[in-house]
C-alpha cells in the first residue's frame, strides 16, 4: 500500500457529468474524466484491506457483494497511485477481458463493497479502471497479441454479446481457432444494441473487435444460427459449439388494448434507435420517434432508464416511468448492512434528465397498467393505471401484490415502451441444438457447469444464468472457456480469476 493514510487525506473525486440540459442534445458519452495526477490520488485512497471485499464477488442474501470477476482491485489501485500504469494494466487484464466496457456500464459492485464505504465514501475504483484501460490504449499497450501456437481445434461461438466475446477471447488466447456468429449486422450483441450510445459509444466496441480480429478471431455478422445456418452444420464443422445468445425473450404486459398501435418492447426501441444513429445519424427515420409524444415506460431498472434518456433526447413531450415495486429508501436500511449490495433509491442519468427537463422525477411507484386505451383508428391514446399494495402471504411467506380499489387514473400516452425484463432463451435456437431448458427457460446444465445435455454444445451468459449484468456475462464466458478447453485438451491452463 503506497499511501496508508490516503483515505484520510484525499476526498473521493469522480468524473464530472455534462449538464443534463446540454447532454440531451446529443447521443455521445457525457463525462469529463479526471487528469492522471488527480486519478493517482484516487488510487491512494485504497487501503489494501486485509480482507478486500471489493474483489470477493460472493453472494450475500441473494445479492452479489464485490466484483464477480475477482478483479485485483487493491493491487491496481496501488499501482495507479505509484504511476505504474503499464503494470496496472497487466493486473487488470489478468481477470477482466473488457475493462473498456465494464468501466463504462458496470454498476460498480466493487465500490458498494469497499471498506471505505462503511464509514465514508468508497474508493473510485470504476474510474480508476477507466483510467487504466484508456491509458493502455493511448500508450499502445492494448494492441493485438495473437497466440504463438495453434491447437488445431475449432470452436463456434453463437452470439457476440459480452459473454460470447469473453469465451471467444479466452479460447483464442489458448490457441483454438474461434468463429463468432452474430445475427445482427454489427458485433456486440447487448453491448451494441441494448445499451445506448451515450453510455457506451460504439467505436469503443469496434476498437476492441478489430484487435480480436487481428488476434485471429473470425466474426460472421448477419448470420442467424438455427435459421441461416443449421446447427447440424456447426456440429459437423467445429469441435465445440458455445451458445451465448442471451435471454432475449422480452416479458410482455397482458392487459386489454395490448394490440394498440404505439406499443413497443424496450429492447426493440433501443436497437432501432442505435442502428438508425449508426447507419445515418437518424436521417433514415428507421426508429421510434418520440418527438412531441407522451411516452410511458413500463418497468424500472437500467433498460427503463435508458429508454427515458433516449426519449428525452428525441424531444418527448412527457416521459413517465411506471414501477410495480415501492420506492427504495434513500439510505441503507438497518436490515441491509454493508457489505451487502445497498438497496437504496438510485436516480440515474435518464431520471436526472427528466427532472431537469420536466421539473419532476418521472417514476410512479407501486403501480401497473390495467388497460391500454385506443382511439377509433386503433392508435394508443392513454393508459389506465392502478395502484398496488404489497402484503405478505401467510401461507407462503412471500410478498404478494393486489390492486387498490378505486385508485385508477388515466394517463395520456402516445407511445408505451415495455421494459419488464426477459423470460429466457428463444425457443428456436434451443430447438435447433436440442438442448434441455430448465424451469426458467434457461439452458439446463449441472450446477456450476457449462456443458449442455448435447455433446459438444456448451452455454454461457444470460442464456445460462438468466438476465444479468455485463460483468457476470464476462465471468460466465471465462468459466465456459475453461470448460470447453478442458473438454478439447483434457486439461485447461486458462485463468478464470
- Per-position DSSP letters for 355-388, written without gaps between them: HHHHSS--EE-SEEEEEEEE-TTSBEEEEEEEEE
Domain 6-138 listed as CATH 3.40.50.12140: no
From residue 105, give the alpha-carbon distance in Å to each of 176, 178, 245, 353, 471.
29, 26, 20, 18, 9
**pLDDT tens, residue by residue, 338-378:** 999 999 999 999 999 999 999 999 999 999 999 999 999 99
54: nearest Cα among 68, 42, 41? 68
From residue 444, give the alpha-carbon distance in Å to each of 238, 339, 465, 478.
22, 31, 9, 18
pLDDT above 70: residue 2? no
3 CB neighbour count, 10 Å cutoff:
20
Please give the Cα distance from 480 to 474 (Å, whole number): 10
CATH architecture type of domain 263-418: 3-Layer(bba) Sandwich (3.50)
- Name the residue ranges covered by the structural domains of the chain: 6-138, 154-248+423-489, 263-418
**pLDDT tens, residue by residue, 174-229:** 999 999 999 999 999 999 999 999 999 999 999 999 999 999 999 999 999 999 99
Of residues 311 and 61, more confidently modeled: 311
Q: What is the pLDDT of residue 47?
A: 86
Whole-model pTM: value is 0.95
Q: What is the mean pLDDT of residues 246-266?
A: 95
Please give the Cα distance from 351 to 72 (Å, whole number): 33
Q: What is the pLDDT of residue 371?
A: 97
What CATH number should be reported for the domain whose range is 154-248+423-489? 3.50.50.60
**pLDDT tens, residue by residue, 60-116:** 988 889 999 999 999 999 999 999 999 999 999 999 999 999 999 999 999 999 999
Q: What is the mean pLDDT of residues 40-49?
A: 92
pLDDT above 70: residue 1? no
411: nearest Cα among 355, 361, 358, 371? 371
What is the C-alpha R_g of the chain? 23
Mean pLDDT of all residues belonging to the chain: 95
Helix or strand run (H / E) with residue 134: helix 125-138
Topology match between the domains 154-248+423-489 and 263-418: yes
Q: Which three cell numbers stand for residue 152?
A: 488445431
Q: What letter does residue 406 receive in the DSSP assignment? A: T
Please give the Cα distance from 111 to 104 (Å, whole number): 14
For residue 389, list its beta bridge partners.
Answer: 402
Q: Which three cell numbers stand for residue 165?
A: 466475446
Q: What is the pLDDT of residue 48?
A: 77
**pLDDT tens, residue by residue, 109-153:** 999 999 999 889 999 999 999 999 999 999 999 999 999 999 999
Q: What is the pLDDT of residue 281?
A: 98
Residues 6+ apart with CB under 8 A from 179: 154, 155, 156, 157, 217, 218, 219, 220, 238
pLDDT above 70: residue 316? yes
Give the CA-trace dihedral at 95, 99, 105, 110, to 10 degrees: 40
pLDDT above 90: residue 392? no
Q: What angle do CA 289, 292, 294 make, to 5 degrees?
A: 90
Specify the 3-state DSSP secondary structure of 238: coil
Q: What letter does residue 329 receive in the DSSP assignment? A: P
pLDDT above 80: residue 397? no
Q: What is the pLDDT of residue 390?
A: 87
Q: What is the pLDDT of residue 497?
A: 64
Do 151 and 485 meet the contact criterion of CB atoms below 8 Å apart?
A: no
Do 12 and 122 meet the contact criterion of CB atoms below 8 Å apart?
A: yes
Amino acid at each position: 500500500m503506497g499511501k496508508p493514510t490516503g483515505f484520510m487525506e484525499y476526498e473521493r473525486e469522480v468524473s464530472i457529468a455534462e449538464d443534463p440540459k446540454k447532454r440531451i442534445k446529443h447521443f455521445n458519452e457525457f463525462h469529463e474524466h479526471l487528469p492522471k495526477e488527480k486519478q493517482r490520488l484516487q488510487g491512494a485512497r485504497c487501503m489494501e484491506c486485509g480482507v478486500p471485499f471489493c474483489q470477493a464477488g460472493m453472494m450475500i442474501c441473494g445479492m452479489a457483494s464485490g466484483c464477480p470477476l475477482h478483479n485485483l482491485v487493491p493491487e491496481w489501485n496501488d499501482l495507479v497511485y505509484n504511476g505504474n500504469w503499464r503494470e496496472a494494466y497487466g493486473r487488470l487484464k489478468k481477470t477482466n477481458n473488457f475493462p473498456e466496457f465494464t468501466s463504462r456500464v458496470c454498476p460498480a459492485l466493487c465500490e458498494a463493497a469497499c471498506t471505505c464505504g462503511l464509514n465514508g465514501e468508497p474508493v473510485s475504483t470504476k474510474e480508476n479502471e477507466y483510467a487504466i484501460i484508456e491509458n493502455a490504449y493511448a500508450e499502445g499497450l492494448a494492441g493485438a497479441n495473437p497466440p504463438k501456437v495453434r491447437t488445431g481445434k475449432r470452436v463456434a461461438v453463437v452470439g457476440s454479446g459480452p459473454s460470447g466475446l469473453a469465451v471467444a477471447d479466452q479460447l483464442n488466447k489458448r490457441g483454438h481457432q474461434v468463429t463468432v456468429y452474430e445475427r445482427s449486422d454489427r458485433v456486440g450483441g447487448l453491448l451494441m444494441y441494448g445499451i445506448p450510445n451515450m453510455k457506451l459509444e460504439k467505436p469503443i466496441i469496434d476498437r476492441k473487435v478489430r484487435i480480436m480480429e487481428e488476434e485471429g478471431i473470425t466474426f460472421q455478422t448477419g448470420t442467424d444460427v438455427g435459421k441461416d445456418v443449421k446447427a447440424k452444420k456447426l456440429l459437423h464443422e467445429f469441435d465445440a459449439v458455445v451458445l451465448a445468445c442471451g435471454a432475449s425473450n422480452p416479458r410482455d404486459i397482458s392487459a386489454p388494448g395490448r394490440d394498440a398501435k404505439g406499443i413497443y418492447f424496450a429492447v426493440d426501441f433501443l436497437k432501432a434507435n442505435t442502428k438508425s444513429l449508426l447507419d445515418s445519424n437518424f436521417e433514415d427515420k428507421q426508429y421510434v420517434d418520440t418527438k412531441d409524444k407522451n411516452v410511458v415506460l413500463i418497468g424500472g431498472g437500467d433498460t427503463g432508464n435508458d429508454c427515458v434518456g433516449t426519449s428525452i433526447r428525441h424531444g418527448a413531450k412527457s416521459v413517465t416511468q411506471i414501477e410495480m415495486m415501492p420506492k427504495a429508501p434513500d439510505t441503507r436500511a438497518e436490515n441491509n448492512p454493508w457489505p451487502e449490495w445497498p438497496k437504496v433509491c438510485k436516480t440515474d442519468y435518464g431520471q436526472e434528465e427528466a427532472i431537469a427537463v420536466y421539473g419532476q422525477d418521472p417514476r410512479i411507484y407501486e403501480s401497473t397498467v390495467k388497460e391500454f386505451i385506443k382511439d377509433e383508428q386503433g392508435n394508443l391514446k392513454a393508459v389506465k393505471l392502478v395502484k398496488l399494495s404489497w402484503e405478505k402471504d401467510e401461507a407462503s411467506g412471500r410478498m404478494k401484490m393486489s390492486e387498490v380499489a378505486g385508485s385508477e387514473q388515466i394517463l395520456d400516452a402516445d407511445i408505451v415502451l415495455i421494459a419488464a425484463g426477459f423470460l429466457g432463451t428463444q425457443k428456436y435456437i434451443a430447438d435447433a441444438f436440442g438442448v434441455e431448458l430448465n424451469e426458467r427457460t434457461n439452458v439446463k446444465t449441472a450446477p456450476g457447469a457449462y456443458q449442455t445435455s448435447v455433446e459438444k454444445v456448451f452455454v454461457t451468459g444470460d442464456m445460462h444464468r438468466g438476465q444479468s449484468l455485463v460483468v457476470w456475462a464476462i465471468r460466465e464466458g471465462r468459466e465456459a472457456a475453461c470448460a470447453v478447453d478442458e473438454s478439447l485438451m483434457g486439461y485447461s491452463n486458462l485463468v478464470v480469476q
